[in-house]
Each structure stands twice: as C-alpha cells, then as structure tokens.
Structure 1
Amino acid sequence: MKSLQRKHVTRQIHVGSVPIGGGAPVVVQSMTNTDTRDGRATVAQIRRLEDAGCEMVRVAVLDEVAVEQLPRIKKEIGIPLVADIHFDHRLALGALAAGVDGLRLNPGNIGGADKVAKVAEAAKERQVPIRIGVNSGSLEKDLLARYGHPTPEAMVESALRHIRLLEDHDFDLIKVSLKSSDVLNTIASYRLLAEKVNYPLHLGVTEAGTLVDGAVKSALGIGILLFEGIGDTLRVSITRDPEEEIPVAYSILRALKLRDRGVELISCPTCGRTEIELIPLVEKAERMLRKVKTPLKVAIMGCVVNGPGEAREADVGIAGGRGQGILFKKGERVEKIPESELITRLLNEVEKITGEKIQD
C-alpha cells in the first residue's frame, strides 16, 4: 500500500532543528511529568523519552526556579525543548532568554496586549515558535455562555482569538492544538480549524485515560485526522509514564504508513491450539524490542503448524508448541529450537538483522 498523501499542507516552521508542517514528516512529541525545578530528574526522563523515539519535549515552567533550570536541561538533551507557560508573561520571557526552542502558551491569558507584545517581540527576535493550545476544559467564559458547552465552533473561535493576538504583532511562527477528551469533538474541531488557517496543527486527545482507553481514543482521534491529511505533530496522552506514550504514537503512524520506526510486533490472539505460554513470551519480547529503532516486522506465534504462514510478511519470527518451536524468516522455516530458548534466539536474530544491541 502506498503511503498517505498529506492533503492539508501547512506553512512550515522550525522548532529547534526540527521542521514542522510544510510536508515534513509528522513529529512525535511528549511532555515530562517531573518537577522541572528538579533539573536532574527532568533531564533523566527526557533522555528516556529520546531513547523511546520522542522528537520534541515540553516541560512545565511553574516559576522562576523552573526557568533557572532550563539552560541546564537544554544543554543536556538532544531534542528541542518547549516551555509550557500559563498566565505569567515574565516566565515566557525568561524561558526565551534561557534558550528554549518553543513556547506553549495562550496569549489571551498572559496579562494584556502589552505583555503579548513583549513576548511576541522576544520570540520573533529569536525565531522561536509559539503553540497556542486550546483545551475544552479551559475555554473563555463568554464562549461557554454563548455556545453552552465546549463545542467545536467554540474551540475554533477561541483559537482564532489567540491567533489574532499574535498576528496583531506581526508574529506568525504559530502552531495550534484543539484538545478535548471527547474524540468526536476533537475531530470536528480540527476539521473546522483546518478550513480556516494554514498554521501547523498539533494533534492530541487530552485526558484520554489509562493505557487501553488512552491508546484507543488517541488511535481513533489522531488516526482519523491523519488519515484525512490533517496534523503535523502529535502527542498520545495516557495516564502513565510519558515514555509509554511513544510506542503508541509510532504504532498509529506506522499503521497509516506515515512513519516507519521500530518493531511492528505481530502475534496471534491465542486459541485452543496454543501449546506454549504465549502471552508472557510476547510481553517480554515487546519490552525488549522497544529498544529497536530499525523498522522491522517481528512475529511471535503460538502454533507451529499455521504460525509461519500466518506471519508470512514478518522479517523474522518464532512459533512454538509442545516444548519446542521454530525460527522462521519471511514465512520460511529456518531451524527447530527448544521452547526455553525461543525468545533468546529471536532477540539474537533481531540483533543480527538490525545491528542494534537489545540484550545485556
């Protein structure tokens, strides 16, 4: 299948060295949940995110103490750093002076036109983009009164207000997000905004919930929009360590053939013919294979008879039963292996194919 065509091509901006929009690949980002005032913990988490494949990271900047940590954090990581600011324009100015690559703020809530002018001027001077982030839970009171609840129309009107505040100061290094915990409202909001502006759009379903619910809501909301050609960056929001977001994000992109990174794990759902402990085997393999960056299809099947054929398109795989199993490549049997050695042999083979070390 051919990859999707980007139908809604936006203007391009750069967050650090990463191009956003304008036909560039969709970028995977996340946000730390450490206290940014603890620079060491924040850097450690960002490095784990980098290892997982995160390409841009946002940190909460709560006060001046957090601002003081930004230069250290920036120096010790390898991906663009975005400062998340609310209400206090001085924190935005401090973050810009500290060298961040992007800001996430809503100009309508940082203290008036003169404050917006100062931030816009400083950001423009440094060529630092600003992401406007509209959230269904924090819409302006007058919009809620007019529309009754956070409708897509209300969210888009809020976004356009914030955009105009920056455009009034000749600032157009803008990216926009419209996040709701309601999947259908999220989709409708982005569709509507995409008709009105050509700024890059950051996709996400906010407060999506636990791993399963969050993954499902994100796959639907983000996936449908990407399929329609809408969206330039994304974040999968789940109530877990942020490193857990990244594999879900790449699974969405890989399923749509928009990005090709890491292992696509193919495994059968188990049935009455399964004669090995398949579930723990697959869970262990999934944990280990997350370290792999090279695009690869890996299969783990519970039936020696049908497994290789069912996973014919896999680059490499194993199928087990009755105390033993086979290693296969592209659906062809390679060798028979004792069940106790299956996972080790599979990982060895992946290391040979990719050149990446994944076992201690």
Structure 2
Amino acid sequence: MSVRPYRQITRRHSRQIFVGSVPVGGDAPISVQTMTNSLTTDVAATVAQIKRAEAAGVDIVRVSCPDEESTAALADIIRQVSVPVVADIHFHYRRAIEAAEAGAACLRINPGNIGSAERVREVVKAAKDHGCSMRIGVNAGSLEKHLLEKYGEPCPEAMVESALEHARILEDNDFRQFKISVKASDVFLAVAAYQGLAEACDYPLHLGITEAGGLIGGTVKSAIGLGNLLWAGIGDTIRVSLSAAPEEEVKVGYDILKSLGLRVRGVNIVSCPSCARQGFDVVKTVEILEQRLAHITAPVTLSIIGCVVNGPGEARETQIGLTGGGNDSHMVYVGGAPDHKVDTLAMIDHIVGLVEAKARELEGRD
C-alpha cells in the first residue's frame, strides 16, 4: 500500500501483446505513439520525422499505407529507424499483406472493411507469418451503417459493439495478438466508449481523442480525455492526435503520463505562473530551461519559483529548486534543502549544470 494512497492508480488488467519489441498491455509501461504526416513515398522526409519522434522518446510510430507505392517504401523506412512501425491500412487487404511482408510490426485495420472472410484470413495469415500484431481501430466518424441505423447516431454502445464485432472476426481466425481503440473527437463520447470497452473485454486498449485540434486546444482536450481514463487505470498505449509535428504529440503524451506518475522521462519542471513578487523573470527562465534541458531523459524534478511564498515548500518536493530572493540573490535547493545562493546573471547556466549532473548521477555516469 502506498504511503500516499490518493496517488495510487490501479491499472485495468489486460492481456499483453507485442508491437515489435514493445510490450503493450499486462504490466508493461504505457507506451507513447505518434503518426507521421509526410507522404510515405517520400522516404527521406518520413524517416526524418520518425528520427525526431525517436529523439523525443516515442515508443511506436504509425505510417500511412494508402497505396502500393507506400507499402513499397515502407521496407526502406523500417530499415532506417529504431522504433517499431505500425502500418495504417484502410479497406484494401493487399496493402495489409504487403505491409506485413515489408516488416511492419503492427497493422492498424478494421477487419470489417477488409472484405470477404477469405481476404481476412489472408491478412491474418500474413500477420502470423511475419510476426505482426494488429490494432482494431474504431472511429465515431466512420461507424458501420447497420450500427448507425440501430442506434441512430454514434454513441458509446455503438462503438463498443463495433469493436467487439471486429474482435470476433479475428478471434474466429484464431488471432488474438491485437489491441483496440474506440476514438472520437468528442471527449465525452470517447471516454464513455473506452469505459464500456474496458468492461467488455481484456484486450489492451490504445487510447486517443481523435482530431483533437491544434497544439494548445488539442493538448487540453487530450489531457482531459486521456487523463480521465488513465487516472481510472484504463489504457495501455496512447497517441495524442494534434495538428502539429509528430514530436509535439510525443512530448504532450509524456507530459500527460508524467503528470499522473505513469511514465517518468526527462525533467519535470514545477514552476509558478509568476506575479509581482517574483525575484526574477520566471516565464522567460522556464522557457529557456525547457529548451536547454530537453536533451535529458533521466527523471529529474526541478522547481522554479519566483518568490519565498511557495518556493521553499515546492523545493522540498523536488531534487533541485530555485527560489527568487531580494537583492539579485536567489536560493538554490538541493535534495529539498537550502544549499547556496546564485545571482540572476549566472542562475540559468548554474541550474542547467546542476540538473545535468543529477541526470548523470541517476544514469550511473560520472
């Protein structure tokens, strides 16, 4: 039992699958995904996007494969990157088979859109032959006609029923290496659908609020929807869908997980919004520190507080702290305790040095 039970999140028990070398579900860490938005046929641009996402810490990347030229480029892309690649497939079963043959770690499909039972069997055989898992991707904007007629509109019950129908198609083909998503752009609809699906099956769940919007608005919607589910223990892998660069999706995804203590990567900065009491420019300082500390992957906690009202208290909870003081002299905290002072001109370089040293210590390096 945790000494702080109010921070305890009990994750839903799910079976575990693998996307390449990345475990999804079971007791595996919640993985962070993104999707490229370059033309897949532009191998250099797609690889460059994936490399930037890798630098941000992505676990899994999805690449769209709408045509034969894209699946032909997929093998070249996969050879040049380190993370597992998911092939995004819609409708044409041949693209799924080609993607599996090209080395995709996972196929994102809707079995019901693939076509006849024989075509589904061919796709399943290709997945088995090449060690691919699958994701059943249900979207509120493209629900099957018979479900819309039954329920009248996209609703949680319709999305769960769609997901389970697709799951049965794969189960009937003796294939269970899949995860499921039930995405919607409406936060209420998505959350309710995931809650229903979590109760109805034990497959790992891929969380997302689809078409969430731009960097700020989409981050807010995703944080509300994904945060609600993750706090309840639901979710095994996430993608934050933003109209932004793929690496930005990764950063937001990690920040959501970090805020709930579900994944720890990089520097977690606790900072105040600033006010007239501040002893230095907090907003500018945090902006610079975020940029200069972006390369650190070790889990370091840092507090940047402009004055002594909350500064000492926040510093007690972080490994390194900075609290603004008078006369151009600011207190530096180490291990939660006041340690020494630094002036404004030197403080950013000084804090960067302390954080980098702490990161080396945590990583076991001198």
Name the TM-score, length of structure 1 as normaliser: 0.93
Moved more, 207-216 or 34-43: 207-216
Moved more, 105-114 or 91-100: 105-114
**Aligned twin of 1:221:** 225
| Residues matched between the structures, number | 356
* 8 Å Cα contact 1:174/1:199 also seen in 2: yes
Moved more, 77-86 or 336-345: 336-345
**Aligned twin of 2:40:** 36
**Aligned twin of 2:262:** 258
Q: 1:315 to 1:7 in 2, by over 3 A?
A: closer
Matched residue SS, 1:134: strand
Tell me the distance in 1 between the aligned counterparts of 2:234 and 2:176: 19
Letter matched to residue 352 of structure 1: A
Deviation at 1:259, TM superposition (A): 1.7
Q: CA RMSD in A?
A: 1.8
Q: Deviating runs (4+, > 6 A) in structure 1?
A: none
* 8 Å Cα contact 2:315/2:322 also seen in 1: no
Q: Is structure 2 residue 254 aligned with structure 1 residue 241?
A: no
Q: Is structure 2 residue 112 aligned with structure 1 residue 108?
A: yes
**Aligned twin of 1:8:** 12
* 8 Å Cα contact 2:91/2:113 also seen in 1: yes
Matched residue SS, 2:200: coil
* 8 Å Cα contact 1:304/1:326 also seen in 2: no
* 8 Å Cα contact 1:151/1:185 also seen in 2: yes
Tell me the distance in 2 between the aligned counterparts of 1:240 and 1:153: 31
Tell me the distance in 2 between the aligned counterparts of 1:198 and 1:7: 12
Name the TM-score, length of structure 2 as normaliser: 0.92
* 8 Å Cα contact 1:6/1:23 also seen in 2: no
The 5-angstrom pairing of residues 261-300 of structure 1 reads: 261-300=265-304
**Aligned twin of 2:353:** 348
Q: 1:54 aligns with which of 54, 58, 72?
A: 58
**Sequence identity of aligned pairs in percent?**
50
**Aligned twin of 1:172:** 176
Deviation at 1:97, TM superposition (A): 0.6
Cα distance per residue 1:162-210 (max 9 Å; x no partner):
1122222221111100001111111111111122211111011111112
Q: 2:340 aligns with which of 335, 339, 343?
A: 335
**Aligned twin of 2:67:** 63
* 8 Å Cα contact 1:39/1:73 also seen in 2: yes
Tell me the distance in 2 between the aligned counterparts of 1:195 and 1:342: 51
* 8 Å Cα contact 1:304/1:325 also seen in 2: no
**Aligned twin of 1:199:** 203
Tell me the distance in 2 between the aligned counterparts of 1:287 and 1:341: 17
Letter matched to residue 150 of structure 1: P
Tell me the distance in 1 between the aligned counterparts of 2:341 and 2:16: 52
**Aligned twin of 2:129:** 125
Tell me the distance in 2 between the aligned counterparts of 1:7 and 1:96: 31
Tell me the distance in 1 between the aligned counterparts of 2:259 and 2:101: 40
Cα distance per residue 1:35-85 (max 9 Å; x no partner):
111111111111111111110110111212211221221111111111001
5+ residue gaps, structure 2, are 362-366
